[in-house]
Chain A
Amino acid sequence: MTERPAENLAVRTLEAWYGESKVLHGMTFDVRAGEVVTLLGRNGAGKTTTLKAIMGLIERREGSIRLDGAELVAVPPYGVARRGIAFCPEERGIFSSLSVRENLLLPPVVAEGGMGVDRILDLFPNLRERLDSPGTKLSGGEQQMLALGRILRTGARVLLLDEPTEGLAPVIIRQIGRTIETLKTLGFTILLVEQNVAFASGIADRHYVVELGRVVDEIPGPELETRLDALKGYLGL
């Protein structure tokens, strides 16, 4: 058996700017292969920006992003995707001029081992009967499932998920949670941005707390419940 690399995704002193406003001030963290790691923190702390900076979707970024040792900080977004990182944006990014099927088939396959469409539809049965309706006619929950489902086809092993539970009803949130657990057992590496602490604590191996564009704390998964008071402080509650 080959030894697994110590870390799959390694982010070091990552800085990023929106126009002239600097949003990331040296993010440093690791996501090891097969782990589920969350970034917690209040709105505007820089969690979403971190994901976008990893994908190269930010105009200006500096620092280091390594995937299995290969530097990505100067790689354009399509290159990052082809190295096996997939991104599910907060606003879900369902294309309104594409049908559900077209949305699902849109991301090109970047590596072998992606899920088949049937398998994805088994995970999200709601989508099966809506395949030919326009993408934006779906409910919020179905849109989230589509956004998640379509990146599973590509063979990417590292998934960046931005607030997949945002604005969804509890029953849908539980379904998304079960899906992420399934993905974890399938060996996906997942970096999750969450505000929903309860959701995060049930799923993640580790949590990083982000404040003003930096990692200010690291909390092992099981300890999250016991350290809730400290966390509320971070979240500003």
Chain B
Amino acid sequence: MTNIKGRFGIHGGQYIPETLMNAVIELEEAYNFYKNDVAFNQELTQLFNEYAGRPSRLYFAKKMTQDLGGAKVYLKREDLNHTGAHKINNVLGQALLAKKMGKTRLIAETGAGQHGVATATAAALMGLDCVVFMGEEDTIRQALNVYRMRLLGAQVIAVKSGTATLKDAVSEAMREWTSRISDTHYCLGSVMGPHPFPTIVRDFQAVISKEIKEQMLEKEGKLPDAVIACVGGGSNAIGSFYHFIEDKDVALIGCEAAGRGIDTLETAATIATGKLGIFHGMKSYFCQDNDGQIAPVYSISAGLDYPGIGPEHAYLHDIKRAQYVAISDDEAVDAFEYLAKTEGIIPAIESAHAIAYALKIAPNMKKEQTIVITLSGRGDKDCAAIARFRGEDLHE
């Protein structure tokens, strides 16, 4: 689906300062070599299996299925991965690649902190230095993850510029990369940014849909009717969709964060409210005002609180291969609590956006139909914030 220069339809590209061009070209060349290298792939598979705990379980949510009374619901348990989210898949791949390229230092942005923790983890494992940029607002929302990163040996820099959230962390990581390139790899956490990042990150996350397909065929003897995942930049979603893109009967549904509603300014639903633009190295859809200024987006979920969406999602939206829906804070929090009480699984508030949409559609589907929801991360990190949302004065 990628053509030259990393385009997905009209989306993607390499809209970055000249200073970084040779760095992304070098990365692309290294990736094109190692992605077909047997030893590299063996090493990565071993890390996936022995270190991250793959393959992740595809769990039949029996109580949820009974309660909803419609389609059979399966949960793809990325929350059970080491570090508690799908982020580790991409990070192990990129860290290994960086090491092969002779880099000694990883930098990363993080929103909820999951990608930062994963990067700090891989850096510790592989003996690389690590600096994580995190919006100051998010360091407060996700204080525990800040501590985890420090414990793992990473330096965490609280970004105060702009809205002090994920987009500013990305901007600051890009600025840092332009100032120090030779020993540093920018371990981008989602399927966004300049080519080749959207492709590299997708390929490392595609293990999710590869496993779902095998597991569904084993358990049900057929493909699912729908795959649902939450979308910020969109890495767990593209990972969950990728091996089903050619299977036209499988509905692919991405759940964006509507925040306080898509008719308010406090939203992060890019497909619902954004328009075509150029930002953070890519052409895609972005939340922006009429004068082309990037919007200060909002969601209860720090991981979905991003004003753009990966270029491949923008393309899947254009060609109507995937559907993108917006889920509000209220719906996500309800789903967070629902899954905890119904299945004994506390999902990340990001993943709860996907659960919320399944709660809407599963009851209207036939009993012989199946839904797979990617549970991209676990919700321990969110408990204090959700308690506060419900009016309890709880702090970590």
A and B part of one assembly: no
> Which of A's residues lie within 8 Å of B, judged by CB?
none
